[in-house]
Chain A
Amino acid sequence: QVQLVQSGAEVKKPGASVKVSCKASGYTFTSYGISWVRQAPGQGLEWMGWISAYNGNTNYAQKLQGRVTMTTDTSTSTAYMELRSLRFDDTAVYYCARDYYLGVRGRNWFDPWGQGTLVTVSS
């Protein structure tokens, strides 16, 4: 079955970086993009950015531009999200999701999602 499995929880100090992985299985990795979404404690979903697993093109949320980098390794069907200069308000559960595309622009949705990775920023 189609599945995304993320790396484990992380605790980081302010100013550090974190890199979360998302390993895909059950489908052709390069056929779809991957989006990253985060959720601060008790808050809603915040879209962080998207990467094409086909050609590596990216699109980042404006508020994270300059601090986030998304990459893929097609040899292992794994996507990565690195967030730098961590702040206390970056504490959140980070999700990857397959950006399913029906072949028509706009006909995109996220399915499935990874299980989530808790990143805690604490001094």
Chain B
Amino acid sequence: DIQMTQSPSSLSASVGDRVTITCRASQSISSYLNWYQQKPGKAPKLLIYAASSLQSGVPSRFSGSGSGTEFTLTISSLQPEDFATYYCQQSYSTPSYTFGQGTKLEIK
């Protein structure tokens, strides 16, 4: 099974900060990596698919990069509504999937 590891597990930042979250795969997954945002009490929401493609309607301050085993999600200028938990997901082994353990982004 492919394991996904996110770092950090939690992160404190301020409005306007640039933030980067890293996701590492236990083997190469090419660019088959998706990112989701989840707010408390809500279902996850797709942000980025195929490592770097922005889902329709998602603000351009979100971006994704990487391939192989290392990937990043960057928020260029944090907004109050961005404080949430972020998950990466590999789709390389479809229809079997794995999520990272999540990164909780909190207000400093």
A residues neighboring B (CB under 8 Å): 33, 35, 37, 44-47, 50, 52, 59, 61-62, 95, 97, 99, 102, 105-116
Size bracket, chain B contacts: 20 to 34
Number of A-B contacts (CB under 8 A): 73
List of A residues within 8 angstroms of B38 by Cβ: 45
B32 to A106, Cβ gap below 8 A? yes
Bound-state Cα–Cα, A115 to B38, Å: 12
- Other than the given A45-B89, A113-B44, A116-B43, 8 more pairs (CB < 8 A) read A35-B97, A44-B87, A45-B102, A50-B97, A97-B44, A105-B94, A108-B94, A109-B89
Q: Which of B79-98 contact A (CB under 8 A)?
A: 87, 89, 91-92, 94-98
Could you tell me the distance between the alpha carbons of A61 and B55 in the complex, rounded to whole angstroms?
27
Task: Flag if A99 contacts B95 (CB, 8 Å).
Answer: yes
CB of B71 closer than 8 Å to a CB of A: no
Q: Give a binary string over B41-77; 1 marks a CB under 8 Å from any A CB, 0 the rest.
A: 0011110011000010000000000000000000000
Chain B at the A interface: mostly helix, strand, loop or mixed? Answer: loop
Report the minimum CB–CB distance from A44 to chain B (whole Å): 4
Please indicate the chain A residues that have their CB under 8 angstroms from the CB of B98 in the complex.
Answer: 47
